[in-house]
Amino acid sequence: MQAYEPLSTITYLNNLEEAAKQLLSYAGSCKIWLFTGELGSGKTTLVQAICKQLGIREYISSPTFSLINTYHLTSGNLVHHVDAYRLGSIEEAIEMDFPYYFETGYCFIEWPTKIPQEIIPTPHISIELIHHDVNENMRKLYAKWITNTH
């Protein structure tokens, strides 16, 4: 049984290993994760930490300009890292064939509001990073299961 209660923690931006472990445990078998937060909040850094926990040894770069980077797990499964920030239109998002990415492994999406919400399947995990109000090197991290869109 999955834990549907929201997850909330505070983490140091330069040491997200424990947060990545918590998120993987929290998500269980859910492989679609949406990351929100201001520019510079640590979305890509968190994705890098999660990928490291999944066993990816190659450098995880931000797909800001390529939009999607794909990595291979030793299990043969894929990890798709999407940065939708530079999507120019809803049509461009639809043309990207998101169902393929949702069906072929983990799919980590930064800036998911740039994608038509009706094409994002449920369940998925929504993760928000917020700058800590006292320490600029810390982030508040909130995660929750989205089990339906209604």
Strand pairing report for 7-12 and 138-146? antiparallel
* Mean per-residue pLDDT, 102-115: 93
The pLDDT of residue 150 is 54
7-146 is classed CATH 3.40.50.10210: no
Read off the pTM. Answer: 0.91
- For 61-99, how does the pLDDT look when each residue is reduced to its tens digit (9 = 90+)? 888 778 999 999 988 889 999 999 988 787 887 788 888
Backbone angles phi, psi at 141, to 5 degrees: -120, 125
